[in-house]
Amino acid sequence: MSWRSTTSLAADEVRIYEVKRTDLEGAVIIDGFPSVGLVSSIVANYLIDALHMEQVGIVDSPAFPTVSLIREGEPQHPVRIYAGQPPGRKAGGTGPEKVVAFISEFQPPPQVVSALGNAMLSWAQEQRCSLLISPEGLVIERPEGDRTRPPNGPPQVRVYGVASTRRARELYIEPNVTLFQEGVITGVAGVLLNEGRRRGFDVLTFLAEAHPDYPDARAAAKVIETIDHVLLQTIIDPVPLYNEAERIEQQLLSIQRSAHEKGGRERTGTSPTSSMYG
């Protein structure tokens, strides 16, 4: 594994570096950059854990935070790429043999969002991956007390979908979820959809109703169920899924609080748009 200096990179440039060469032809990619309710972050974290994914690359830019995340005594880059294989499929399942996840604990600064989305799609095409999924939270107004769990299962969360190509919409979205008809999708997901349409590359966005003010584990779990039903086609027990999503929610909240407390003590001049999540 070799690391190259980023001193020659422009301030808004993004590069992807491989740390382990892996055949990813036909893989499905999951975008794990923070979104509303941290839905995408929880989804990516869950799949990385559930599929025992290995790190295969990093994404770097001078605009990214100059931090090292320490996990189990090992330093980790703030933007990482993992790859793994889904567990056993349902009978007759035709899901992908490989899954890739981009994961990050921070929202990318606005000046690199476009370059980041383009870099991800270019890399996906170079690796001959089949499609890219960008989970998102959809802001809704929920009455107080509406987040309690019903006695017979998890709360009902609606999922909507949109695709970059007509083929992907007809194949994956329309038969499975409500089409997202009108609205605005911003950030990395918005860039991926627009660039996917321009390039003719299949990009799917699944939007789950989520609370915007804190990590929404149940919304993320519903997206994971949707991704599994539509694409991975594995055998998933929803109860452990929701429990694990809630555990990740608490972990993300804890790291977020620590980052904010440290930020209050040490002002580094970092823009609020690139504040740490995790």
Whether domain 27-138+156-260 has CATH 3.50.50.60:
no
Q: How far apart are CA 222 and CA 217, in angstroms?
A: 9
Q: How far apart are CA 237 and CA 14, in angstroms?
A: 38
Q: How far apart are CA 256 and CA 254, in angstroms?
A: 5
- What is the predicted pLDDT for the residue at 247? 77
- What is the predicted pLDDT for the residue at 192? 98
**Distant-in-sequence, close-in-space partners of 185: CB < 8 Å, separation ≥ 6:** 136, 162, 193, 205, 207
Model pTM score: 0.80
Alpha helical stretches, state H, 88-128? 110-126
Q: Strand 159-163 vs strand 178-179: parallel, antiparallel, or unpaired?
A: parallel
Domain ranges, ordered by start, for the chain: 27-138+156-260
pLDDT tens series, the chain, 278 aa: 444 444 567 778 999 999 999 999 999 999 999 988 889 998 998 889 888 999 999 999 999 988 888 888 888 899 999 999 887 655 555 668 899 999 998 889 999 999 999 999 999 999 999 999 999 999 866 554 454 444 444 457 899 999 999 999 999 999 999 999 999 999 999 999 999 999 999 999 999 998 887 788 888 889 999 998 898 877 655 666 677 767 776 776 777 677 667 655 544 333 333 333 23
- What is the predicted pLDDT for the residue at 267? 45
Q: Which two tokens stand for residue 96?
A: 């992908």
